[in-house]
Chains A and B, each alone.
Chain A
Amino acid sequence: MEKIKVRICVGTSCFVMGAAQIQSLEFNAPADIADSIEIIEERCMNLCKDIKVKYNRGPFVFVNDRLIEEASYEKVINAIREEIKKSCEK
C-alpha cells in the first residue's frame, strides 16, 4: 500500500498554534498508523495569508490531498485513519 502523505506546515504561525505537537507523529505515531504514513514538514505554505477569505486558522496539515484546518494531533490522526479505511475499501 502506498504511504499516506502527511504534510505539516511548520511556518511560524502554524508552528506556534500547534504544528509543533503534530510534528511528534514523526517519532511516536500510534502503532496502527505508524507504518502507513510519511511525514513531510513544509516551510510556510502561505495558506495563512488567506485566512478569513478562504481558510480558517492554522495549523494547516494535508493528509494526502485533504486539507485540515485548525489541525490538532487528534484531528490529524483521525483523518489518517479515515484515509487508511478508504484505501482498504478500494
Chain B
Amino acid sequence: MNRSLFIEIGTAQEHKYGEDCFGDTVFSKKIPEEQRVISILSDGLGSGVKANILSSMTTRMAMKFVESNMELLRSSEVMMDALPICQIRKISYATFSIVDSMLEGKTRIFEMDNPSFMLIRDNKAVNVRYRELSSPKWKDRTINISQLTNQEEDRIILISDGVSQAGLGNPKYPLGWQRQGCLDFALAQIRKNPQISAYDLAHAIVREALDKEVDKHAGDDISCVVLYFRKPRQLLVLTGPPFDEDKDKEYADLVTDYDGKIAICGGTTANIIERELCLKCEIDKTSFDEKIPMSSTMDGVDLVTEGILTLTEVYRMLKEGIDKDKNNAAVRLTRLLLGSDKIDFVVGTKINIAHQDPNLPMELEIRRNIVKKIFRILQDRYLKEISVRYI
C-alpha cells in the first residue's frame, strides 16, 4: 500500500422486513503488520437466523483462509462443505465478495454470486477484467477473481442482491433498482460531494434502496460496503488538563503545530488553550441540548466541547449509532471522529476533584477510562488508526 494511502471502510445494512436479524454479514479486518485490509460481504441463503448463521460462518471462515493466504479454490470447497444444508432447498449456500488490499496498492477481489463489485475512479465507473475459476466438486459455482492497483480517491463498492433487487414488486421498478441504478446513484452522490466518506456513501445507498421498496419495507437483506482509498484525514483530540501545570504551554502548542483537524473536549482544557494561545472561545448556541452542554467555537479549532458527559455520550453513539435528529456537541464530535482516519488523542490526566463528589451521578467516569473505551471501539469496530498520549 502506498504508505500515505488509507482505506476507509463504511458499511450500511438493513434487514429484511419482518426479520429480527441480518441475513447478510459484513466483516472487515485490518492487519497493520502487513499493511493489509480484508473486507468480506456474504449473503446467506434465505433470511433471518438461518441466513445469518450461513453468512457469518462464511465470512469467518473466509477471513481465516484469506488471512493465512490459503489457496482460494480449496478454501471455497472447504467452506461449501462446512455450511449446513438448508432443510427446504437441500443445498448449503452463501455468497461472498472478498476484497483483499495488500501492500503496495495491490487489491484482489474474489466474488461468488454476489452482484459484481463497482470500482469508481475519477468519478467514472471502471470495468475490471476478471478470471473465472470453478471447482470440479461444485461445477455450477464459479468464482470471479479480479486484480487492480489502487489509486488515491478510488472507491470500491460491494452490494448484496438486496440492493440490486430493491424495488421488485414496485411497478416503477419492474426489474428492481439493478446494479446499474445503484452505480449511477453512487456516481451522482460523488459528483455532488467528491469527498463523501465511505460511511456516508454506504448509508446513502442503503437509504436509496429502501426508498425504492414498496412501503419502504426491505424485501431482502440490504447491505452495502464502501472502501475508500484516500490520504488519511487526521484529527487531534485534546482532552483534560495536563497533570503538571508547567506542561500547559507545551499542551497548547500542539494545537498550533498540528496538521489536520482539532477537537478540544473539556471546559478547563478549552480554558487552558484559550489562555495560552490568547484565542477567543465562544459558546455556540446552535448546539443547544438538554442533556449535553453546548459546544463552543474557537479560531483554528474545529470543535470545542465539554469533557466527560460529551465523551460518555459519544461512546454510547459509537456503540449504538448516531442520533439522527440531533445536532448537539456529542453528535458533532462523533461525526468528526468517524470522518477521520487517523486520530491522535492527547489526554491530560489531572483529576477534577469536583467530579469525585459522591452526590454526582455515577456516570461521571474518570477521563482516562472513557477515552480508553472510545479509542478501543474506534480501533476495533471502525478500524481507525489511533494514537494516545498521556500528559
Contacts and interface: CB of A to CB of B under 8 A. Distances in A.
A26 B352 CA distance: 28
B353 A49 contact: yes
Contacts of B286: none
Interface stretch (A13-21, A61-69, A75-83): A13-21
**Chain B interface residue bracket vs A:** 20 to 34
Contacts of A43: 267-268, 270-271, 281, 283, 296, 306
Contacts of B271: 43-44, 46
B355 A12 contact: yes
Nearest to B270: A43
A26 B288 CA distance: 10
Given A24-B290, A26-B288, A13 B268 contact: no
A13 B293 contact: no
B283 A41 contact: yes
Interface string A36-71: 000011111010110100000110000000000000
A2 to B, nearest CB: 21
Contact of B352 (A12, A20, A24, A58): A12
B309 A15 contact: yes
Interface string B333-370: 00000000000000000001111010111001000000
Given A43-B281, A49-B354, A16 B296 contact: no
B291 interface: yes
Contacts of B44: none
Nearest to B356: A13
B307 interface: yes
- Most chain B beta-carbon contacts within 10 A, residue among A13, A43, A44: A43
Nearest to A48: B354
Contacts of A23: 288, 290
Nearest to B361: A16
Interface in B272-307: 281, 283, 285, 288, 290-291, 293-294, 296, 306-307
A10 interface: yes
A16 B363 CA distance: 10
Nearest to A20: B290
A20 to B, nearest CB: 6
Contacts of B354: 11-13, 48-49, 51, 58
A15 B306 contact: yes
Contact of B267 (A16, A44, A51, A58): A44
Contact of B364 (A10, A12, A44, A46): A12
A13 B357 contact: yes
Given A43-B267, A43-B270, A10 B357 contact: no
B293 A10 contact: yes
A12 B290 CA distance: 13
Nearest to A17: B360
For the complex of A and B, 6 pairs with smallest distance between CB atoms: A44-B267, A48-B354, A43-B267, A13-B354, A10-B293, A11-B267
Interface of B: 267-268, 270-271, 281, 283, 285, 288, 290-291, 293-294, 296, 306-309, 352-355, 357, 359-361, 364
Given A11-B267, A15-B293, A16-B361, 11 more contacts: A11-B293, A12-B267, A12-B293, A12-B307, A12-B308, A13-B354, A13-B360, A17-B360, A20-B293, A43-B296, A51-B354
5 contacts: A11-B268, A16-B364, A17-B359, A17-B360, A51-B357
Interface of A: 10-13, 15-17, 20, 23-24, 26, 40-44, 46, 48-49, 51, 57-58
